């Protein structure tokens, strides 16, 4: 099987993984001097309807569902996925 995640997909997954799901009142603000891949990931997630602002903001309902699924997948792997 030769399927690999694209760099864009990895950046988006990493961005979603940064959200604290225990408090939906906690958003993320991407500053103008953040790495280009982080800025682009936030913008793509906004375009996909997963975050409330182009620079992050809060997770939308769709973003919450996706972030929860991501968290379950990472927990299932059992590795220390977060550094």
Domain ranges in the chain?
7-20+27-76
What's the token pair of residue 65? Answer: 């569902």
Higher pLDDT pick, 27 / 2: 27
Q: Please determine, for residue 1, whether its predicted confidence score (pLDDT) is greater than 70.
A: no
pTM of the model: 0.88
For the chain, give the mean pLDDT: 92
Q: Report whether 21 contacts 71 (CB < 8 A).
A: yes
Q: Give the whole-angstrom CA distance, residue 7 versus residue 52.
A: 22
Section 23-52 average pLDDT: 95
Residue with tokens 């991407």: 30
pLDDT in tens, 7-20: 999 999 999 999 99
The per-residue pLDDT for 49 is 98
């Amino acid at each position: 099987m030769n399927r690999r995640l694209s760099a864009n997909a990895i950046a988006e997954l990493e961005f979603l993984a940064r959200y604290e799901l225990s408090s939906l009142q906690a958003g993320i603000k991407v500053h103008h001097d953040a790495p280009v891949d982080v800025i682009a990931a936030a913008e793509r997630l906004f375009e996909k309807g997963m975050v409330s602002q182009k620079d992050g903001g809060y997770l939308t309902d769709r973003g919450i569902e996706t972030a929860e699924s991501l968290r379950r997948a990472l927990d299932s792997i059992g590795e220390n996925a977060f550094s």
